[in-house]
């Protein structure tokens, strides 16, 4: 298989659609062929839910524990971490999901079984301090469901 026809799977951590303090993990199959047995591992390898209200960890670790095939162009976006800080002190008041500092490795195979891998290391405390995220978006000023559309995070 030529290099330009092989699968490529890219992993990244990006500001979440959920707003400030939230991060998503993306897996993107950018190659020109199917990526088989795509697996995602992390360092630290395992972590416990932060508390009973952690709505991310259980589902995220279930996703990470399974291998899947990704066709060319496929993209999975997963909620990775959420944290809320007290306004005055900056102290964490709520945390859910994966650790802020991690290494994420994605492994996969081509059609002939040749193995590939790619890793990303990050520190969300550092990245978060320099990543612009809007605190407010557009607001609806009319319509019957205006209140639902304008619910704050």
3: CB partners within 8 A, 6+ apart: none
Q: For residue 33, what pLDDT is reported?
A: 96
Q: What is the mean pLDDT of the chain?
A: 86
Is the pTM of the predicted complex or chain greater than 0.75? yes
Query: Is the pLDDT score of 16 beyond 60?
Result: yes
Q: What does the pLDDT look like over 61-81, one tens digit per residue?
A: 999 999 999 999 999 999 999
Average pLDDT over residues 29-44: 96
* Class of residue 151 by CB neighbours under 10 A (exposed 0-12, middle 13-18, buried 19+): exposed
Helix, strand, coil percentages, rounded to 5, for the chain: 15, 40, 45
The C-alpha atoms of residue 128 and residue 125 are separated, in whole angstroms, by 5
Instruction: Please check whether residue 92 is in contact with residue 100, taking contact to mean a CB–CB distance below 8 angstroms.
Output: no
CA 6 from centre of chain: 24
* Class of residue 73 by CB neighbours under 10 A (exposed 0-12, middle 13-18, buried 19+): exposed
pLDDT above 90 coverage of the chain, percent: 58
Q: Locate all alpha helices (DSSP H) within the chain, ordered by sequence.
A: 57-64, 124-130, 146-149
Alpha-carbon Rg for the chain, nearest whole angstrom, is: 18
Going by pLDDT thresholds of 50, 70 and 90, the confidence category of residue 153 is: very low
Query: Is the pLDDT score of 141 beyond 50?
Result: yes
Q: First vs last Cα of the chain: how many Å apart?
A: 48
């Amino acid at each position: 298989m030529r290099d330009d026809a092989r699968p490529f799977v890219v992993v990244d951590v990006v500001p979440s659609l959920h707003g400030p303090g939230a991060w998503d993990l993306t897996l993107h199959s950018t190659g020109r062929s199917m990526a088989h047995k795509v697996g995602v591992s992390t360092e630290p390898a395992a972590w416990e839910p932060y508390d009973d209200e952690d709505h991310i960890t259980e589902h995220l670790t279930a996703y990470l524990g399974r291998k899947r095939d990704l066709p060319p162009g496929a993209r999975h976006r997963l909620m990775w971490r959420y944290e809320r800080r007290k306004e005055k002190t900056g102290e964490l008041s709520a945390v859910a999901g994966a650790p802020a500092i991690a290494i994420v490795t994605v492994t996969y195979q081509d059609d002939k079984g040749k193995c590939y891998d790619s890793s990303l290391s990050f520190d969300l405390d550092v990245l978060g301090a320099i990543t612009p995220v809007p605190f407010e978006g557009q607001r609806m000023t009319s319509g019957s469901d205006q209140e639902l559309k304008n619910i704050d995070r």
